[in-house]
Structure 1
Amino acid sequence: LPYAAEQSTQVIALPDSQKDGYSPVFRNKISEKSLFSNFHPKIQTAYDIFNYSLEQYRDNDCLAYRKQSLDEETNQLEFDEYYTYLKTYEVDKLRSQIGSGILYLINNTNDNSDLARIDVNNFIVTLFFPSCYQWVLVDLACQAYSIVNTALYSTLGSESSAYILDVTKSPIIFLEKSKIKKILELKNEKSINSLKILISIDDLNMDLDYDLFNECYNSGVLLYDFKTLIKIGKENLLSHIPPNRNSTYTISFTSGTTGVPKGVVLTHVNAIAAFTSNRCVIHNPESNYKKLKYINILPLAHILSRNHITFEFSMGSTIYFPHNPNNPKTFFEDIKIVKPSHIIFVPRICTRLEMGLKSKLTSSKLLNGLVNYKMNKLREEEYDSTKISHFFYDNLLFNKIKKQFGFDNLKMMIVGGAPTPKQTLEYLSAVFGCGFIQGYGMTESHSAICQTVFNYGKTFGTNGVIGPSCEIRLRDVVELDYSWEKNRSGEILVRGPLIFKGYFGKEENFGFDDEGWFGTGDIGTLDENSNVLIVDRIKSFFKLSQGEYIAIEKVEAVYINNNTIINQLCIYGDSNESYLVGLIGLDADYLSKILNVSDKALESLSKESVIGKLNKVDIRTKILKQIEGNVKGMGLQGFEKIKNIYLDVEPFSVDNKMLTPTLKIKRHEVQKAFKEKIGELYKEGKLAIDSKL
C-alpha cells in the first residue's frame, strides 16, 4: 500500500443498485467485492496501530515540543528556540504511566466515603486543553486501557460544556491551569456532581497555588498536575487492558446550528476503517520515514486531526506541535523551525496565503510571469508537483518564498474542513512546488469518505473519489432541482464500516434509513471522473422571489475565500425579494485603512462609533465594490451576488449564540438578532456600485 493512483481512483456502480429517486450505489473499484474494514489482520484497533509503530520505529523521534520556562523578572512564559523529542519507546512508557495513574486515581477516589462512587469499568475521560503532545499521550493512554474519552474546547460555551459533562458523567478532566476556576464555577452552578478529579497539564506548586487547591477541595474535587499523575502511574503500574474492535474509541461531540451538541460514538472499527482508507490512497511525500515531519496545527478535539495523527504513527513520522496552540498567529514561527514535509491547513489559511502572495507578486511583470510559467507547467504535467521544478527560476524566486514561510522541505499540503477553490490550490502548488490532498468527510464517518490523490491530475481541485471503506449513493432532492437523472447530483448517503453506529444517549438507528444509509445533509455531484464535488448543505438554501435557489454556504465561501477583509459573513435572501444582502464582520486589521484613520485614532473610538462610521453609504458602497471585484470570474451568477451590506466588527460569537462551538453560523439566531438591520437593507435597496450587477 498505497495503491497506484490509476487503481484507487476508479469508481464503479454496483449492478442493479439504482432505484427510483436515487442514483446507483457507488464503490471504489479496489473494494468492489467487499468494503475494506482493516489494514492488516493484526491491526484491529487504534491501540494496535501505535504498537505497530513501536515495533517498526522504536527509536525514532515520535512527538516533538518546545519546552517552556517562566521568566522570573517578567513573569512571562518563554519557549526554547528548538524542539525537544520523545522517542516512540518513551511515548510507550508514558502512555502506560498515564493510563495507570488515571485508573489508580479513579479507584482511590472510590475509597473516599465522602465522594460518590465511580464505575471503574465504565467511565469517560474528558480532555479540555488545546492541541499539544500531552493530548496525544492521554489519548494513547485511554486506548491502552480501554478508557473512553471525549473532548471539550474553548469555543463551546458554558451551556454546551455543562451539557456534555452532565450526559457523559465524566469524573475526570484534563485541562489547562487557566481553565480550572471556570470548570469549578460550572460544576457548582450546574450541580455536576459526577466530576471528582482535575488534572492540570501545567505544573502546579502547592505553596503558590494553595488557593487553587483549596478551592478544588471545597468543591469536592481532587486536583493534580500532569507530572504528579505520571509519578502516581509509575509507582502503580498496571498491565494494558487492550480494546477490541467493537470497543468505543471516543465520543466526539458535534455542535449543529440548532439544539444541544450531539455525541458521535466512534468505535475502533470506525477508526481502523478510516485509517485503512487513508493508507490505501495517500502516498507518502517522502520515501525515507526519517524525513517525514508533520506539524499539527488543527484542534485535536476534531476527528480529522486525530485520524491523521494515527496515520502519522503508521508512517514513522515525527509529529510536532506549536508552542502556543491558542494563538494561530504564532504558528508560522514554529513552522519555520520545523520545516515540515507535510501539513494540514483549513481553506481560510490557503486563501489568505494566495491573496498575500498575489498582492506582492502581481505588481512585478517578471515575478508574475514566473508564477504563470509554473502554473502552466503544473497543468501540462497534470498537477504532478514533482515535475515543475526549474533550477534557475526556483533559485531566483520560489525557493526564497518557500524559505520565508518555513516551507523549504514541504512536499504535500492537506486541506480539510471545507472545499477550497481549485484556482487557490493551483496557485499555491505552483509557488510552493507541493502537491495537494483535499477530501470530504464528517465526524460521523471518522472524517474519511473521499479524498483526492497526491500529485494526480484527475482528482485535483475536487473532493476526490470514494474511499474503499464506504459506499455512497445520491438521493434526489427534487424541490431543489437536484437529481441523478437530470444533473448527477443529490443528497449524499453513505454506508460502510467507517460510519458511526449512533449518537450518545439516542436510539441506535437515529439518523439512518431502513437500509442502513446515513444521510449527510450535503448536496453533492459526481463529475465525469466520478470525483465528488460538494455543493452545499440542504438546509442552507434560500429561494428568491424570481424562483432561483441559492446555495448560500457555497456563495459565502466564494466571498470569504477571495476577500481578506471579510472575517465573518452571513448572507440572507428573502423569498419576497429578488436579491441577496450580507452581514459582514470585517477583519480588525483593516479597519484603520478602511476608515482612513491612524491606528492610534482608531483605538480611541468606541466600537459603536466605529460601526457607525463603517455603515455610512459611501464606505459600504466602496467595500461592496471591492469585494464584488474580487469575486469576479469566480463563477457566481448575477442573482448570487450581494447587493447591499451591513458592516460590523465580529458581530457573531459563541457568547451571543450566533455561532456554534465549531464557529458555524446559526442562521436562525442571526436573522432574529439582525431582523431590523436586514429590513433596513432591503428598504434602502441595492447599492449603486455597478450598473451591470
Structure 2
Amino acid sequence: MPEFIKFNLDKQSVEVPGTRTPDATGHYRHAAYGDALVSNIREAPQLKTLYDIWQHSVTKYADNDFLGHRPFNIVAQTYGGYSWETFRQINQRVNAFGSGVMHLNEVILGNPKLNRWALGIWSHGRPEWFISEMSCNCYNLVSVALYDTLGPDAVEYIVNHAEIEIVVSSANHIAAILENSDKLPNIKAIISMDALHDSVPVPGATSASQVLRAWGAQKGIKVYDFNEIESLGRDFPRKHIPPTADEVASLCYTSGTTGQPKGAMLTHKNFVATIGTNREGMIFTQDDVLISFLPLAHIMGRVIDTIAMYSGSKIGYFRGDILLLLDDITELRPTFFPAVPRLLNRIYAKLVSSTIEAPGLVGALARRGVATKMANMAAGKGVHHALWDRILFNKVKMALGGRVQVILTGSAPIAKEVLGFLRIAFCCEVLEGYGSTEGMATATITMPDEYIPGHIGCPRAGCELKLVDVPAMNYHSTDQPYPRGEIWIRGDTVFKGYYKDEKNTRETIDSEGWFATGDIGFVDNRGCFTIIDRKKNIFKLAQGEYIAPEKIENILGARCNLIQQIYVHGDSLESTLVSIVVPEPETFLPFANLIAGASVTADDIEGLSKLCMDPKVKAAVTKELEKAGKAGALRGFEFVKRVHLTTDAFSVDNSMMTPTFKVRRPQVAEYFKGQIKAMYEDINATTPVAKL
C-alpha cells in the first residue's frame, strides 16, 4: 500500500528570503525543502535516465508481476481476468522489440540515422505501449505519442512535424494512417500492436491482414505486427545505446484550443526529477496495484506509470473502453486510482443519488453518516469511522474494488464538496495535484490528511513557485490579505522547450528558467496555493468587467450534476453571459421529466431533444446554474442569464473539443451563433431600460 511522508499542515510552504522583486512574490518552496530543491531520486542518485531506472527495476524486481491486461477470448467473445507478465519477461520483450525496430529502420528501410529519431505510438494504454516507449529509452530514440482521440488534421501535423517514419499502432488506427498516407510522406512502416496473422476461413478468401499489407504495399508503406518485429529482434539482437540525462526522451504534444499542437521536449532529466519529487510525498511499494486508464499520450498518465515502474508496483491496463472501466477496477482491485474531475464528478453524482438523496431509511442513515464523517474530517480526525464505515461506507468502497488507498485527481479543477464527499465515502486519501505538460504534471499537490478543502496544495519537493503581477486583471503580489498573480514554476521538472518553436519557447520560459503557466492564483498563510482565474481566454463585458470563462465553466460543471458539457459565452458589446449546455442524461432526465410532467426514457432521443427545448426546463436549469454559481462564489456579473440546452455534444470529431477534452471556443461559438444571438435578443427584450 502507498506509504506517506507526513508534514506540518499548518506551514506547508515558505517564501525564500531575499527573492522578492517589485513585480512578484518571493520564491515559494515546500517547507521541508526550503534550502534546496530535489532534482533526483534521493535513495538512488546514480540513476540519471529512464534507461537507468528501467535497468534498476528489472534487476530489483525481476520475477515480480509487472504489466497486466485482460485477454479477449475470440471464441467466447468475452474478456478474461488479468494476465500478468513479470519485469524479466517484459525486459526480454523490450530487448527483442527494440532490436527489431532498429533492424527495420537501418537494414530494411535503409535509414542512415541510427538513433535520436522519433518513433510514433498510437494506442490506448496496453503492455505494447510500455514496451514501445521503453525500447526508445534503451536505444536512444524519441517517443512521440499520438492521441487515441486525435482528429486526422492533428495526427497529420504531428507525424510530419516530428518527422516520424515508423508508427506503432493498435490495429484500429492502421486504416486511418494508410487512408491519409498521401499527407504523411515520411511514413515508411506501420507496426500493429495487434496480431496480423489471422487465418483465412474460406479457401481462396483474403484475410483482413492480407488486405492491410497489400494496401500498405500499394502506398509504399510496410505493415508488420508486433510479434514479427520481436521475432526480427531476436534474430538480429542489438546492443543498447544508453541516452544521457539532457537528451530528449519524448515529444509530448499539447493540444491547444487554438492553433496547432506544440511539441514539449521532455528530457530524461525531467522524468528522473519528477520521479524523485513525487517520492518525497508518497511512496509506491511492491504491494501496490495501479489501474492505468489515463491516456499515455498525456503526461499525467505517463508519469504515474513511470513512478509505478520504478517502485516495482503492478500496472493493470483497462480494456480501452471508459464505459467498462468500473468493471476492470472491480476485477483488478487497485490500491491507487488516478482520475480526472470529469470521471470523479460522475462517480460523485451516482453516489449522492444512491446515498444522501435516496428515499426513506437509506437516505436518512446516509445523511447522518455523511454529516458525522464530514464533521470529523473538518476537525482533523481523519476519514474513518468505526460505526458508519461498517454500516454504510465499506459497501461504497467496493465500487472501486475495496482496496483503494489513494485517489489522485488533476488536469482540471474539482469542487471542494466533491473532494470531501469522496474522501469520507471511500475512506481514503483523495489528493489534488496541479501541473502541466511543460512541467511534467508536477507543480503542487495537497498533503495527506488535509482537512481544509478548496486549494491545490503546496509546491512539490522539486519545484518552486512565484506569483507575478498581472496589472491588466488587477492581480498584484502586494494584494491583501493574500498575494495574487500569475503562477510561475521553476525546477528540473520544467521542460526544455517546444520542438522547432523558438517563439513560443521564449514566450513561455524566461532566461532564468521560469515557466509562465497562464494560471492566476493566490497563496494563503499556510503556504497553500489556490487557482482563481486564467490569464488566457479572457475578455471584457460591456461594462468593463474581465471574464475568465474557463473558470466559470469549471465551477458550474463541478457543482451542477445536470451538466455533461458547458460553454460560457460573453461579448464585449453585451453586459451579461449566456451558456450552451449539453445535459448529463442520467441526472437530467428525471429532473426535466419532473419539471415538464413528462416520462422520457434514456433511449428516446427525440423526447430528450423536446425536453431541451422546453422553456420551463431551460428556466429550471438556469436556476440550478445560479445555485451552483453561488456555491462557487461567483460574482454577480459572472452568472449566466440564459441557457441553451442541446444534445449536440462537443467532440473531437466535430472540432469543438481538443483531444484533451478542452473546449475549442471559436468553433463552439460559430456552431451555436444562432442560438447565442437568440439568447441575447431575449435578454435585451425582457430587460427594463433604465430611465435617464
TM-score by length of 1: 0.90
- Partner secondary structure for residue 485 of structure 1: coil
- Identity percentage of aligned residues: 30
- The 1-side partners of 2:401 and 2:554 are apart by 26
- The 1-side partners of 2:329 and 2:231 are apart by 33
Is 1:532 equivalent to 2:524 in the alignment? no
Question: Which residue identity does 1:37 align to in structure 2?
Answer: S
Partner of 2:204: none
Alignment partner of 1:61 out of 55, 59, 65: 65
Note if contact 1:156-1:662 (Cα within 8 Å) is conserved in structure 2.
Answer: no
- Partner secondary structure for residue 530 of structure 2: strand
Per-residue deviation at 1:411? 1.0
Per-residue deviation at 1:11? 2.2
Partner of 2:306: 310
- Partner secondary structure for residue 512 of structure 2: coil
Per-residue deviation at 1:57? 1.8
Per-residue deviation at 1:148? 0.5
Partner of 1:558: 555
1:182-581 superposed matches below 5 A: 182-188=176-182, 190=183, 192-205=184-197, 207=200, 208=207, 209-284=209-284, 289-323=285-319, 325=320, 327-362=321-356, 363=358, 364-381=363-380, 384-385=382-383, 388-390=384-386, 392-403=387-398, 405-457=399-451, 461-486=454-479, 487-507=482-502, 509-581=506-578
Per-residue deviation at 1:570? 0.6
- The 2-side partners of 1:556 and 1:590 are apart by 18
Question: Which residue identity does 2:661 align to in structure 1?
Answer: L
| Greater shift in the superposed pair: 550-559 or 435-444 | 550-559
- The 2-side partners of 1:276 and 1:579 are apart by 47
- Partner secondary structure for residue 328 of structure 2: helix
- Partner secondary structure for residue 8 of structure 2: helix
Note if contact 1:118-1:171 (Cα within 8 Å) is conserved in structure 2.
Answer: no
Structure 1 residues 297, 33: CA separation in 2 closer, same or farther (over 3 Å shift)?
A: same
- The 2-side partners of 1:155 and 1:178 are apart by 12
Deviation digits for residues 488-537 of structure 1 (CA, Å, limit 9, x no counterpart)? 11111122211111111122645222333221111111111111111232
Per-residue deviation at 1:547? 3.5
- The 2-side partners of 1:554 and 1:407 are apart by 33
Question: Which residue identity does 1:202 align to in structure 2?
Answer: D
Per-residue deviation at 1:306? 0.8
- The 2-side partners of 1:526 and 1:185 are apart by 51
- Partner secondary structure for residue 44 of structure 1: coil
- The 2-side partners of 1:513 and 1:19 are apart by 15
Structure 1 residues 155, 118: CA separation in 2 closer, same or farther (over 3 Å shift)?
A: farther
Per-residue deviation at 1:617? 2.0
Note if contact 2:4-2:448 (Cα within 8 Å) is conserved in structure 1.
Answer: no
Alignment partner of 2:19 out of 17, 20, 39: 17
| Greater shift in the superposed pair: 54-63 or 1-10 | 1-10
Partner of 1:103: 102
Is 1:672 equivalent to 2:670 in the alignment? yes
| Greater shift in the superposed pair: 192-201 or 392-401 | 392-401
- The 2-side partners of 1:13 and 1:670 are apart by 42
Per-residue deviation at 1:278? 0.2
Gaps of 5+ in 2: 201-206, 688-692
What is the total number of aligned residue pairs between the two structures?
661
Deviation digits for residues 556-585 of structure 1 (CA, Å, limit 9, x no counterpart)? 112111233322111012233332110112
Is 1:166 equivalent to 2:160 in the alignment? yes
Partner of 2:203: none
Alignment partner of 2:8 out of 6, 19, 22: 6
Note if contact 1:644-1:686 (Cα within 8 Å) is conserved in structure 2.
Answer: no
Deviation digits for residues 173-216 of structure 1 (CA, Å, limit 9, x no counterpart)? 1112121111011112x1x2211111111111265221111001
1:646-665 superposed matches below 5 A: 646-665=644-663
Partner of 1:640: 638
- The 1-side partners of 2:96 and 2:506 are apart by 38
Per-residue deviation at 1:379? 1.9
- Partner secondary structure for residue 202 of structure 1: coil
Note if contact 2:521-2:529 (Cα within 8 Å) is conserved in structure 1.
Answer: yes
Structure 1 residues 619, 28: CA separation in 2 closer, same or farther (over 3 Å shift)?
A: closer
Partner of 1:153: 147
Structure 1 residues 7, 585: CA separation in 2 closer, same or farther (over 3 Å shift)?
A: closer
- The 2-side partners of 1:503 and 1:290 are apart by 36
Structure 1 residues 94, 9: CA separation in 2 closer, same or farther (over 3 Å shift)?
A: farther
Structure 1 residues 10, 440: CA separation in 2 closer, same or farther (over 3 Å shift)?
A: same
- Partner secondary structure for residue 71 of structure 1: coil
Alignment partner of 1:28 out of 11, 20, 30: 30
- The 1-side partners of 2:161 and 2:175 are apart by 21
- The 2-side partners of 1:63 and 1:602 are apart by 42
- The 2-side partners of 1:137 and 1:121 are apart by 17
Note if contact 1:126-1:152 (Cα within 8 Å) is conserved in structure 2.
Answer: yes
Note if contact 1:248-1:265 (Cα within 8 Å) is conserved in structure 2.
Answer: yes
Structure 1 residues 581, 687: CA separation in 2 closer, same or farther (over 3 Å shift)?
A: farther
Gaps of 5+ in 1: 112-116
Per-residue deviation at 1:601? 7.6
- Partner secondary structure for residue 291 of structure 1: coil
Note if contact 1:57-1:88 (Cα within 8 Å) is conserved in structure 2.
Answer: yes
Note if contact 1:544-1:573 (Cα within 8 Å) is conserved in structure 2.
Answer: yes
Question: Which residue identity does 2:63 align to in structure 1?
Answer: D
- The 1-side partners of 2:155 and 2:499 are apart by 15
Question: Which residue identity does 1:278 align to in structure 2?
Answer: N
Structure 1 residues 409, 108: CA separation in 2 closer, same or farther (over 3 Å shift)?
A: same
Per-residue deviation at 1:598? 4.1
- The 2-side partners of 1:600 and 1:528 are apart by 49
TM-score by length of 2: 0.90
Note if contact 1:477-1:490 (Cα within 8 Å) is conserved in structure 2.
Answer: yes
Per-residue deviation at 1:301? 0.7
Structure 1 residues 137, 688: CA separation in 2 closer, same or farther (over 3 Å shift)?
A: farther
| Greater shift in the superposed pair: 155-164 or 531-540 | 531-540
1:37-56 superposed matches below 5 A: 37-39=39-41, 40-56=44-60
Structure 1 residues 122, 472: CA separation in 2 closer, same or farther (over 3 Å shift)?
A: same
- The 1-side partners of 2:138 and 2:646 are apart by 49
Note if contact 2:422-2:430 (Cα within 8 Å) is conserved in structure 1.
Answer: no
- Partner secondary structure for residue 367 of structure 2: helix
Partner of 1:114: none
- The 2-side partners of 1:2 and 1:651 are apart by 41
Per-residue deviation at 1:468? 2.3
- The 2-side partners of 1:436 and 1:195 are apart by 43
Question: Which residue identity does 1:133 align to in structure 2?
Answer: P
Structure 1 residues 510, 580: CA separation in 2 closer, same or farther (over 3 Å shift)?
A: closer
Note if contact 1:152-1:161 (Cα within 8 Å) is conserved in structure 2.
Answer: yes
- The 2-side partners of 1:407 and 1:547 are apart by 51
> What's the Cα RMSD here?
2.4
Note if contact 1:544-1:578 (Cα within 8 Å) is conserved in structure 2.
Answer: yes
Per-residue deviation at 1:129? 0.7
Question: Which residue identity does 1:272 align to in structure 2?
Answer: V
- The 2-side partners of 1:78 and 1:204 are apart by 20
Note if contact 1:49-1:310 (Cα within 8 Å) is conserved in structure 2.
Answer: no
- Partner secondary structure for residue 5 of structure 1: coil
Deviation digits for residues 427-451 of structure 1 (CA, Å, limit 9, x no counterpart)? 1111110012111110001111111
Per-residue deviation at 1:589? 4.7
Note if contact 1:275-1:311 (Cα within 8 Å) is conserved in structure 2.
Answer: yes
Alignment partner of 1:129 out of 102, 123, 131: 123
Structure 1 residues 180, 413: CA separation in 2 closer, same or farther (over 3 Å shift)?
A: same
Per-residue deviation at 1:414? 0.5
Per-residue deviation at 1:328? 0.8
